[in-house]
Each structure stands twice: as structure tokens, then as C-alpha cells.
Amino acid sequence: MSLLLTIVATWGIYTLLGIGIVLIYRTSRVLNIAGGELAIFLGYVVAWAVADGFPVAAAVPIGLVAAAGLGFAVFWLMLRRIMGQPPHVGLMMTVGIAILLNGLIVILFGGGNVTIDAGFSRTMALGGAILSERDLAAAVGAWVSIAVLALVYRVTDLGLQMRAVAEKVMLSAQRGVNINRVVALSWVLGVIAAALAGTLHGERAFVAASAAVIGINALLACLIGGMDSLRGVVIGGLIVAVSENLTAYYVDPRYALLTPVGLVLITLVVRPWGLLGTVEEFHRV
Amino acid sequence: MSGVRRAPRMPSSLPLGTARTFALRRGRAQWTVCLGGVAILLSLPLVLSAYWLHLANLVLIAVVGAVALNLLTGNARLVSLGQAAFLGIGAFTAGLMSRAAEIPFPLVLVAAAAAGGIVGLIVAIPSLKLRVLYVAVTTLALHFAVATILVMIQAVVLDSSGITLPIPALGPLALDSAVKWYYALFSIAALVVLGALNLLRSYVGRRWVAVGEHDVAAAALGVSVVRAKLSVFVVSSAVVALAGALMAYYIGTVSFESFNLNLAIAYLAMIIVGGMGRVLGSVLGAVLITLLPYLLDQAFAGLGLGIRASTLAGIQEVMYGALIVGFLLFEPRGLAEIWRHLRAAAADWPFRYRAVQRGQR
């Protein structure tokens, strides 16, 4: 029961972070390796605000504003200048951003374990089972955030424009979509998703320089589900969370990452575009 | 006019730069510069202090690894985050072999390279179907798989904090001092550099570049994409594993902690800063990125600032990141390109531009 709740919470966090990566990938065709570092960096910002005496209800918006600013800056100052170059350039740039943020985490926040205390206790009794209230809060927070993001993507004009840019950049530009603005906003939204994931991870466990590994898990979830599919990430996140937690619980926490990595390699050999990804992607010249 | 030395004949339609690139014979001046450079490098142990000689040896090992990575990532455009994994495979192969039996040093190096090549082949197979971006993730997955396996080996099989390696010997010559290591590593690095330059001029290297530029177009021109990707992965991983084995022997101990993701990113920084797809770039980048942490350390010590080791590591990471992003934005062709510009400027001095026709100089 407690394991089940842990799976649901980590599933939500990986999916949230994965949605951030997919949003960015769909519009700007940049595979964002730095997702985990962005999440943890902004998680530290929230943790720092909480430690500074802000109530959680104020600290989280502070983190989200920082996320929006960071996402915009990263796109406008860095990725925008290399759009149109071969895909490996953008990838390497996010590698650079990842290690840059990692260094900043160590310099600014020390990089040690910090838990974001949102006032939830570690245990609660529910019908005989002992559950972690923090896991429950993280699960609820993650799935509410995912629902909001999905709604933005499905219902709003901005979401429509993002989907249009993801389909065909040239055509949407001709129909009057401001490409730079839409891609910049997708970076903002993607980094906000990462910030939420980082905060929730910090709430249920802790933020630490080493916790950036959740970015790898999210990336694996995206690959299993398909890099350009939001629904795919939800399924991929479930597969990663289940395989990781079961390995950690029944075998050894040190080998927890090995099972999802193996599953991804199998996916890449059998079905490289992922469970729900677009096949066409791989034949485009 | 019979006494005048004539330039080798070139087809007149080729632009000057092309003629130079493809020139089979080198001018006397070029040979002089080359031999002079080698002579300076060979006499370095006479002038360097023990500390700097140690750094020079680390640079030479990094040159071997960076040149190999540049073939894969710079020329074939397959971004690899598995550099640390391949270095670790080489180092652990060397460590485990020397622990099991007394096997001659060159044989261990060959075995380490073979192990790297085999794993490279295995990783290459899923990447055959994939586009560029996914190779990064496959190699990242490899990194975590190898890291976990190394932890397992160290914890379960060895039951210790690491492996200590014996002092290796090349035939009768034991590599027991930094000077001897310098000459051994210099010859290996020189062989790897020359080998890479030669490969890139051969059909093998051109196939890699063609596939890197555009795999579909290359396939349409009759290049076997499968063979190109497999061969570049095998060659690159084998040489990287060789560098890992050299590192293990040079440092004297092997432990899984050294082969983390930051090491892989540092190597990526080397080739981006140095120049993607250029052998000279790998060398320049290896020098800069290897020395950077030591220079930083000395700079802070010189300023008299007491900085904690963890903060220093953070500053180092920030600098790696800033260098990667900065070079990608402002000089994507890296230090090698800056060097080329400087050389051209020096050749044309005091004029700003090169003369349009040859006769006008």
C-alpha cells in the first residue's frame, strides 16, 4: 500500500518533468538533457524561500516566477540563436546548461540534502496501512499540475499555437503564429513543469545535487512513451516508476536505475519512436 | 630560371585553400615547423617541474580520449555521453586483468581496447535505427548501466575500495617515473593523432563525415550507413577504452567514483571548445579542459582566497558549462578555428586581406 503510493507519487513527478521535456521538444526540437538540473535548481529556490520564512503558499509562486524567468532566459539568450542548426548543437547546449546549473547548485545552495517542509508528516494511518502524508501530497500536487498543464495545452489559444508549431513550423508561421513567442512560451511552460516536479520531489524526499537524476528518469519515460507524445509520457512515466520502485524495493536501491534503462534500450531497438510517438519523425529528410 | 624551386602543380580551377588541403607534399617550411614543434614537445621533461610533468601526462591521456570522441561526436555527429563509461571499461579491464595474472602491459592495453570496441559495437546496434538525438540517450543509458556494473564489481567481486595496479613495463623498460611515462604517452598520443588524421583522409573517415552530415543523403550516394556507424563506434570506443586503461596504469588505482557523468561532459567540453570534427581541436581542447581545474586552483590560491573544495568543484562545473554554451554560440568551430584565423592573419601581415590573385602578393 505504501509502495503503491510511492509509485503513484514518483509516477506523477516523472510525468510532470517528462511533460516539460516533451513540450520543449515538440516546439523547438531540442532534446532537453538539463530537465533534472532545472528541476532541482528551482526546487532549491523554493526550499531557500521556505527556509527564509516565506509560507509555502508564497514560496511556490516565487519558484514558479523564477522558473518562468529562467526558461525564458535560457531560450532567448541561448537556444534561440542556434535554432535551425543541426539537432546535435541544441542537445550539446543543454548538456552545457546542465553542468552549469549543477555548478550553480553547489555554489549557491551547497548541494546538500534539503527537504521542503510543507507541514505534512512522514506518516499517517489509513485503514490499518501506514502511509506517508508527504507522498500523498506530492502525488496530489503532481497530478493536479499535470491536469492544469494538459488543460492549457488542449483548451487555450497558446496551446493551440504550440500544437500548430509542433505539427508544421512553416505553415503556422504563414498563418500568423509568432514562432519565437510560442517557442519561448513553451520553454517557459516546460521549465515551470520542471520547477513543480523539483519542488514536489523536494517535498516528498529532498532536493540535492545528486537528485538531478530524476531528469534521467523523466527522459527515460519520454523515450518509452515517445518523445513527441504527451499521452505517451504518462504511460512511460508509469513504466519507469513501477520498474524503478519495484527494483529498489525487492532487489537493491543501488540498481534501481538499471531496470528502466534496460526497458528503454529494448524500446529503442524494437520501437524506436516509442509507444505513442510519431513514426514519420524517423524518415524525415 | 632553372634554379628557382617551383611550387607543385595544382589544377588551376581549385581554390588556393583546397590545393593546400589536398597537397601531398609539404613545403620545407612546414616540415621545419612540424619537426621544431615535436622537438620542443620531446624536450619538455627537461624543463618542466614534477608537478607540471604530471599535468602534461594527464593532458596526453586526455588527448587520446578526446581525439577518439571527436571522431564519433565531431565527425560522425553522434553525440556520446558514454565517454566515462568507455574510459571505465578500459580502466576496469586493465585493473581486473593485472589483478588476475601477470599479463604484459601492451597485451592488457590491447585487451582493454578490444573490450571497449565490443561494447561500442553493442551500443551501436540500437543506434543504427535512430536519429542523432537518440544516440545521446542510448549512450547515457550505457553510462548508467556501466556505472552500476562497476559498482557491483567493486562491491561484490573485489570487496574493496578499488584496484591497485602494478607498475607496467614496456619490454625491459619499467614505466616507473613521470619522465618515462611522458615519452610512452607521447608516442601513443602521437600515434593516435596521426592515425585519426589518416583515417579522416581515407574513405573510412569520409564515410563517417558523410553519414554525419546527412545520413539519408549519404545512403543515396551509396555509402553504407550501417557500416559507417558501426565502424565509427567501434574505433572510437576502442581508443577511448585504451585511454581509460592508460589512465588506470598512470594513476595506479581504479575506482568507480572517477567515472562519473561529469567526466563524460568534460570530454564533450574538450571537443566543443577545441573544435568539433577537427583533430587539432581535440588536442587544444584536451590541453585547456585538463589544465583548467589546476589553473583555477592555483589562481584562487594565488589570490589568497580560501575556498572550500566543494565550491571550487562548483566553479569548475560552471566554467565547463559556460565554455560549452559560449563556444557553441560564438565560435562553434572552436579553438582550432581561432588558431586558423590567427595563422592566416600572421601570414598576410601587414595586410588585412589576402590578395585576390596569386601574382599580386
Low-confidence residues in chain A, pLDDT < 50:
282-285
Q: Work out the minimum CA distance from B142 to partner chain A, whole angstroms.
A: 8
Number of C-alpha atoms within 13 angstroms, CB side, residue B140?
Answer: 25
Whether residue A280 lies inside any domain: the answer is: no
CB A226 within 8 A of CB A278: yes
Contacts A103 to B, Cβ<8 Å: 313-321
Q: Work out the minimum CA distance from A76 to partner chain B, whole angstroms.
A: 12
- Name the residue facing A78 among B268, B323, B329 (closest C-beta): B329
A252 vs B248, more confident: B248
Cα Rg for chain B, rounded, in angstroms? 22
Number of C-alpha atoms within 13 angstroms, CB side, residue B126?
Answer: 25
- Give how many domains chain A has, as a whole number: 1
Looking up cell 542510448, which residue turns up? Answer: B138
What is the rounded average pLDDT of the residues B111-130? 88
- Name the residue facing A219 among B137, B268, B323 (closest C-beta): B137
Q: Which of A74, A99, A255, A283 to mutate to test the interface with B (most CBs of B within 10 A)?
A: A99
B236 vs A120, more confident: B236
Whether residue A161 lies inside any domain: the answer is: yes
Coil, strand or helix at B78: coil
- Name the residue facing A106 among B137, B214, B310 (closest C-beta): B310
Query: Would you place residue B103 in the very low, low, confident or very high pLDDT band (cuts 50, 70, 90)?
Result: confident
Whether residue A140 lies inside any domain: the answer is: yes
Grid coordinates of B315: 566553479
- Judge whether B272 is closer than 8 Å to chain A, CB to CB: yes
Least confident of A207-216, B226-235, B285-294, B297-306: B297-306
Whether residue A147 lies inside any domain: the answer is: yes
Q: Judge: A272–B320 Cβ closer than 8 Å, yes or no.
A: no
- Judge whether B314 is closer than 8 Å to chain A, CB to CB: yes
**Backbone dihedral region of A277: left (phi > 0), alpha (psi from -120 to 50 degrees) or beta?**
beta
Q: How many CB pairs under 8 A join A and B?
A: 145
- Judge whether B318 is closer than 8 Å to chain A, CB to CB: yes
- Name the residue facing A107 among B73, B214, B318 (closest C-beta): B318
- Judge whether B81 is closer than 8 Å to chain A, CB to CB: yes
Contacts B260 to A, Cβ<8 Å: none
- Tens digits of residue pLDDT in A147-200: 999 999 999 999 999 999 888 888 898 998 899 999 999 999 999 999 999 999
Q: Judge: A281–B131 Cβ closer than 8 Å, yes or no.
A: yes
- Domain limits for position A136: 2-212
Q: What is the ipTM of this complex?
A: 0.90
Residue A283's closest chain B neighbor by CA? B216
- Residue A259 CB: number of other CB atoms within 10 A? 19
- Tens digits of residue pLDDT in B32-90: 888 888 888 888 888 888 899 999 999 999 999 999 999 999 999 999 999 999 999 99
- Judge whether B27 is closer than 8 Å to chain A, CB to CB: no
Whether residue A282 lies inside any domain: the answer is: no
Number of C-alpha atoms within 13 angstroms, CB side, residue B313?
Answer: 11
CB B236 within 8 A of CB B118: no
The CA-based dihedral angle spanning residues A177, A183, A188, A192, taken in that order and rounded to the nearest 10 degrees: 100
Start-to-end C-alpha separation, chain B: 20
Domains, chain B, ordered by start: 46-360 (1.10.3470)
Whether residue A275 lies inside any domain: the answer is: no
Whether residue A231 lies inside any domain: the answer is: no
Contacts B144 to A, Cβ<8 Å: 216, 257-258, 261
Whether residue A267 lies inside any domain: the answer is: no
